[in-house]
């Protein structure tokens, strides 16, 4: 409600002190500006949307695939160092993403991905939350199912794709929802690693909203963009629920 109220405020109400939560003289100017941007500057805005969809799609899919492949041997096989790796995964969950920003920057720089789209996609692959959830869920799958499949001649790869992956579908769905929402909100990697460049090639909607609000000081228009982004995330989430059903 606050975001909607802010998007309806005229410019002269934005910087009133003390700030007012509710709009007094609502206007649709910010929404007119939004549709004018869509109509007259298709390439820049389309670039923001393209980058956002790219980060959401590749980041979410890559994270789920990597978490599943890494969690399976940790959950179903015992090998030297497995307990130590499991402890590292748990300990890593205690660190805020901000703490790992400098190591991420150094890693991306050494890989040569600064000012590239890979700089905002690859860090999402390495989130240990998905690995932790996948591992714990896979541990609940009875070993008898995998042993029966092995007796029938199924290889480890066949057991993974035919038995394990279908059984962890609820966790996969949860990670996909959280991954998509998180990817839509990605900001810190862009701010530190690319600043949206070169030529807005790594700017996404969240970073565009930030620049609009705090660099151009168009607070009402920025709230309109945030409201549009919320609707987009809501629609994507509903579609995911329908596919889950």
- pLDDT tens readout for residues 187-203: 777 777 777 777 777 77
Share of the chain above pLDDT 90, in %: 9
Query: What is the torsional sign of CA 25, 26, 28, 31?
Result: positive
Torsion on CA atoms 133, 57, 191, 207, rounded to nearest 10: -120
Number of CB atoms found within 10 A of residue 17's CB: 5
8 Å CB contact between 63 and 179 = yes
Looking at residue 68, its pLDDT comes to: 92
34-43, 132-141, 155-164, 171-180: least confidently modelled range? 34-43
Long-range contacts of 100-105 (CB under 8 A, 24+ apart): 101/188, 101/192, 104/189, 104/192, 104/193, 105/192, 105/193
Which parts of 38-192 are beta strand (E)? none
Out of 60-64, 68-72, 197-201, pick the least confident: 197-201
Top mean-pLDDT range of 13-17, 149-153, 186-190: 149-153
Taking residues 221-230, report their average pLDDT.
Answer: 81
Q: Is the pLDDT of residue 70 over 60?
A: yes
What's the pLDDT band for 245 if we cut at 50, 70, 90?
low
Average pLDDT, the chain: 81
Task: List, in sequence order, every beta strand (DSSP E) within 104-191.
Answer: none
For residue 143, pLDDT over 80 is answered with yes
Top mean pLDDT of 24-33, 77-86, 222-231 is at 77-86
Residue 41 confidence class, pLDDT cut points 50, 70, 90: low
Do residues 71 and 138 touch, judged by C-beta distance below 8 A?
yes
CA 33 to CA 162: how far, in whole Å?
A: 51
Question: By the 8 A CB rule, do 221 and 208 touch?
Answer: no
Q: What is the largest CA-CA distance in the chain?
A: 75
Q: Per-residue pLDDT for 38 more than 70?
A: no
The residue that leads in pLDDT, 66 or 126, is 66
Rounded to two decimals, what is the model's pTM?
0.75
**Alpha-carbon distance 68 to 149, whole Å?**
19
Cβ atoms of 150 and 143 within 8 Å: the answer is: no
């Amino acid at each position: 409600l606050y975001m909607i109220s802010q998007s309806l405020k005229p410019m002269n109400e934005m910087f009133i002190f003390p700030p007012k939560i509710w709009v007094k003289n609502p206007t649709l100017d910010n929404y007119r500006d939004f549709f004018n941007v869509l109509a007259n500057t298709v390439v820049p805005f389309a670039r923001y949307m393209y980058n956002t969809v790219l980060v959401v799609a590749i980041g979410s899919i890559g994270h789920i695939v990597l978490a599943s492949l890494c969690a399976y041997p940790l959950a179903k096989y015992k090998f030297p160092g497995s307990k130590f790796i499991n402890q590292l995964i748990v300990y890593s969950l205690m660190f805020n993403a901000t703490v790992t920003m400098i190591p991420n920057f150094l890693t991306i720089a050494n890989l040569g991905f600064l000012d590239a789209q890979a700089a905002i996609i690859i860090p999402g692959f390495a989130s240990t939350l998905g690995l932790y959830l996948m591992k714990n869920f896979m541990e609940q799958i009875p070993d008898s199912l995998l042993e029966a499949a092995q007796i029938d001649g199924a290889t480890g790869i066949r057991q993974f794709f035919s038995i394990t992956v279908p059984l962890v579908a609820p966790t996969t769905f949860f990670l996909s929802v959280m991954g998509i929402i998180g990817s839509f909100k990605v900001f810190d990697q862009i701010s530190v690693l690319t600043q949206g460049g070169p030529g807005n090639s790594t700017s996404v909607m969240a970073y565009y909203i930030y620049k609009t609000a705090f660099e151009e000081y168009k607070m009402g228009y920025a709230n309109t963009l945030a409201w549009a982004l919320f609707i987009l995330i809501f629609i994507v989430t509903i579609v995911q629920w329908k596919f889950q059903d």
